[in-house]
Each structure stands twice: as C-alpha cells, then as structure tokens.
Amino acid sequence: MARRFALLVTTVGMIMLVCSAVAFAAVRTGNEGDNTLMGTRYKDSLTGKGGDDRTVGKGGNDTYYYADGWGSDTVVDSGGTDTLNFSGVTGRLDVNLCAPVGASDYSLSSDSTSNTVKSESRIENARGGLGNDIIVGCDGKNTLSGGGYRSKFAVGPFPGEGDVLADIAGYARFGIAASSDVYLGSKEGSATVLDMGGGADVLDLRGFHSNHAIILGADVDSDGKRGSLAVAYGDGTVLYGTMLLANQFEGDEFDPFEAGSDVEAGSDVDGRIEKIQFKNKTVTVTPELAEPASAQQVATFEERMPDDLSKASLLP
C-alpha cells in the first residue's frame, strides 16, 4: 500500500509539474503603441504589433512574431533556443543573426525601411516572410526558413531570385567556427542555400515525400560544371518550389558578395549540405546526385520547369 501511495504521489507531482509549465508559458500581444512585453522562463510567444516595442523572453524557447508595420523593436532574451518569426511580413527582409542581431524590412514600392529589430541577445532561428528575403545565420546551430518569395518564374530559385539563406559560420574571413545548421523547405516558397561549413548540415523537407521530389545538378556560375544541386518538391501534381544548394561540389563558385563590399569577393564561399531529409527517408548528398540525366527524364519535367532549370541535369 505504501509503495502504491508513493507511486501515486510521484505521478501526481509529475502531472502538476507538466501542467504548471504549460500554464505559465506566456502568450503576450501588444497594440499599436509602444509596449513592453514580459515573458517567462517557459516557452513564450511575444507579438508587439505596431509601435516601438521591447519584448523580453527571459529563458525558454521563445518565438517573437512580426507583421507589416511592426515598428522599431528591441528583443531581450536570456536563454533557450529562440526564433524571430516574420511570417506576417509581405515585403523583403534582411535578417542577421550575428551579434548584434538585426533585422529590417523593405516596402514593395521602395527600397526604404521603417521597421527594425535589434537585439544584443543570442537568437538561434529565423523564419522569413513573403518577400525575397536574405537571412544570415551565424555561430552555433541555426534553423533558417525563407517562408516565401516572389518570382517571375513558375518555380525557383536562381541566383538573385527568391530567398537567400546563408550561414557564415566557417567562413574564413569572419573567423567564426563552423556549425551544423538546418534549412527548412515549405509550401510557401523557395530559396538559395549557401552554407559555409559544418559536418552535419541538413535540408529539412520532412513535409514532403521523396517520390514527389527531384534532384538536379545545376551550374550556377555558368562555367559548364554542375557544382550545385537544385531540389524541386511538391505533392505529386503541384510543384511547390526549389531549394538551390549552391557550391556543393568543386566547380561552382556562386559568390553572394557584391563587388566593392568589405568582404573580398570570391574568397572561400564553399560549404555543403550533408543530408536531405524527406518524410519517408534521408538522402546523403554526394557528387553522384549532380550526374546528367537522360533526355527522357528531362523531358518528363521540362514543361513544369523554367528554362534555366530544365537545362540542368535531372534525377527522378
């Protein structure tokens, strides 16, 4: 009887502990004024809305949400694995997760910016909005998602087209130790992925079946060598988008840095995605994935591909 009572007390205690964690996790939403939103040590969701807000997540795996016209916000976070979520933003975004963390948006009609996020805290993850975003990861493990893009093609992306997801950890000129990161693909859009180091980087397409995806060797610098990979995915009837894995193998040197920038162009922008995760299996990335496909295989998908992509190699 004593043993059963002790077991009952332990079980009830565990249930109360779990319930208390759920109960104390905060969902804070501001208004159009200047707000200060305080989180907890649990998993919080903080949305400042308009105005110049200060959002304080404290510990826990917190998510900070933004939509059009969010203002000039400051994030303070003391721990956990945290995310900046811009899924409610329709314009183009620049997001930088290197300290100090910063983000800004650009309206669809101009190159001016009026909304910003600043943080001296470490933020690990970022999700973009519906524009053609540039999201840069930094030290430690990052999870990056473009979230969407506006394309003149049926699918994308290509250099200068769609979102750019880049992790600069491992880039020699910045002196940041290489890290293993995760890049998310979704129904909402496509991206160019440029990873500069790490031994266990992943393209996460677990929302899609490998039978509904194709892997293509791609030549992004037009030198005749297929040193990059394009992974197109859908649901079997609709092609949702493409993740372009740039500079995967020797031969491609896609350079995201413009001439005249403070980063020496063409210097050590190599990296590799080691695994592609699908709903049903995980594919190890090897140079064989970029080998040319047969003319029949190319013809099968040619009508659903923009011209640039249909000229690449193809594997079913």
Q: Domain for residue 8, yes or no?
A: yes
**Number of Cβ within a 10 Å radius of residue 36:** 13
161 in Cβ contact with 131 (< 8 Å): no
8-state DSSP, 186 = B
| pLDDT score for 112 | 55
Phi, psi of 56 (to 5 degrees): -120, 110
| pLDDT score for 252 | 60
Q: Domain for residue 231, yes or no?
A: no
Give the Cα separation of 96 and 37 in Å (integer). 23
* Percentages (nearest 5) of helix, strand, coil residues in the chain: 15, 35, 55
Q: Domain for residue 102, yes or no?
A: yes
**Backbone region of residue 8 per phi and psi (left: phi > 0; alpha: psi in -120 to 50; beta: other values):** alpha
pLDDT tens digits for the chain (316 residues)? Answer: 555 545 544 554 554 444 444 456 789 999 999 999 999 999 999 999 999 999 999 889 999 999 999 999 999 999 999 999 999 998 889 999 999 999 999 754 445 568 999 999 999 999 999 888 899 999 899 999 987 665 554 344 444 467 889 998 887 777 788 899 999 987 767 888 988 888 899 999 998 988 888 888 887 777 777 888 888 888 877 777 788 888 888 756 666 555 444 444 444 566 789 999 999 999 999 888 877 655 554 555 444 444 444 343 333 3
User: Under DSSP, is residue 287 helix (H, G, I), strand (E, B) or coil?
Assistant: helix
| Number of folded domains that form the chain | 1
Q: Domain for residue 237, yes or no?
A: no
| pLDDT score for 197 | 84
Q: Domain for residue 257, yes or no?
A: no
Give the global pTM.
Answer: 0.81
Q: pLDDT (tens digit, 9 = 90+) per residue, 85-140? A: 999 998 889 999 999 999 999 754 445 568 999 999 999 999 999 888 899 999 89
97 in Cβ contact with 115 (< 8 Å): no
Q: Domain for residue 297, yes or no?
A: no
Q: Domain for residue 199, yes or no?
A: yes
Domain, as residue range, for 143: 1-206
Q: Domain for residue 214, yes or no?
A: no
Cβ-proximal residues to 308 (8 Å cutoff; 6+ apart), any chain: 153, 158
| pLDDT score for 226 | 80
